Amino acid sequence: MFKSSKKLAASLISGVALTALFSAQSFATIGEFSDDFEAMTVSDMSTDLAVAGWRIGANISDGVGTYPGGFKFFYGLFDAPNGGPGFSGVATGDATNGGVGVNYLNIYSDYNCCGLDGATPEGHGNGTDVVNALVLKEFFITSDDIGKIVTFTFDAKRPDVVDDGFGGDDSAAVGNGCSGICTANAFVKTLDPGAGFATTNVIVEDTTAISQTVWTTYTITIDLSDPLLDGQRLQVGFESFSGNFDNTGVYYDNISLTAVSTAANVPFPAFAIAAFAAMLGLVGINAFRKRV
């Protein structure tokens, strides 16, 4: 009987350890990540950004009426390029935040859009369309993600001023010398595939007029507590709106995503621990009596 009492105590202890293990762990399909771009090659058309999970796409509107006008078409999602005439590239040259590292992510419009040499050019090719260029990471939201708080953090600045020799700025910074409206944002959004990928949540941080000299850290947070988000997509990233080859450059660095359950790491109640200890004491007393 003493031996079986030891087994009972061991079984109870194992059960508590297993409960504590599961309460401390988090099971999610939203992949946490961090990128500082130091291990990536500077804009040489490598696949570094694509391998890291960055993707691109664009919405094209006609620029007529309320900005950006009537929707024309979407293309994407494709692997993000590292350099070239469209979307994204790892860059260096401006000072980084706090002088840590030398590389950062350069985000800009797709200046190769669309049919520039065709009979009926669109996008930047016709001077009237608006190109909403997107550089993002996308995740599937499952039931394991419901109840999580997702936090998107990044450093940002616009490119340094480049003296044009006449006291003006010759840089590619968004808002610099634009002939029309040109804007940039960071965003977190959810989309519903069951409703034609309609946007169900969107939170943006406007980076159109941020400093060209000082890096600033920004945070965007979204609560995934709504059970209707199960099966939807989560996108985090950066975008610009522009036409007619206007400037859209913004630098981003030290980008991270975390997804923390509001129910994670719930402590085992003190009263339960006390009750369990008392129960173990009774087991020991009974075992001692039986043995005697």
Question: Residues 3-35: pLDDT tens digits?
Answer: 333 333 333 333 333 333 333 333 348 999 999
188 and 202 in contact (C-beta within 8 Å)? yes
pTM: 0.81
- The CA distances from residue 248 to 240, 244, 266, 271, in Å, are 6, 11, 45, 59
Integer Cα distance of 90 and 41 in angstroms: 7
Integer Cα distance of 220 and 237 in angstroms: 11
Tokens of 29: 């399909």
Q: What is the mean pLDDT of residues 205-213?
A: 98
pLDDT in tens, 71-111: 999 999 999 999 999 999 999 999 999 999 999 999 999 99
254 and 155 in contact (C-beta within 8 Å)? yes
Tokens of 267: 């402590």
Integer Cα distance of 102 and 129 in angstroms: 35
Count CB atoms within 10 A of the CB of residue 238: 25
Integer Cα distance of 128 and 199 in angstroms: 25
What is the residue whose two structure tokens read 């979307």?
87
Tokens of 93: 């040259």
CA atoms within 13 A on the CB side of 51: 9
Burial of 102 (0-12, 13-18, 19+ CB in 10 A): middle
184 and 202 in contact (C-beta within 8 Å)? no
83 and 71 in contact (C-beta within 8 Å)? no
Q: Which of 60-69, 124-133, 158-167, 264-273 has the lowest mean pLDDT?
A: 264-273
Q: What share of the chain has pLDDT > 90, as a percent? A: 76
Tokens of 14: 């194992």
DSSP letter at 283 equals H
Q: What is the mean pLDDT of residues 265-279?
A: 48
Q: What is the chain's Cα-based Rg? A: 27
118 band by pLDDT with thresholds 50, 70 and 90: confident
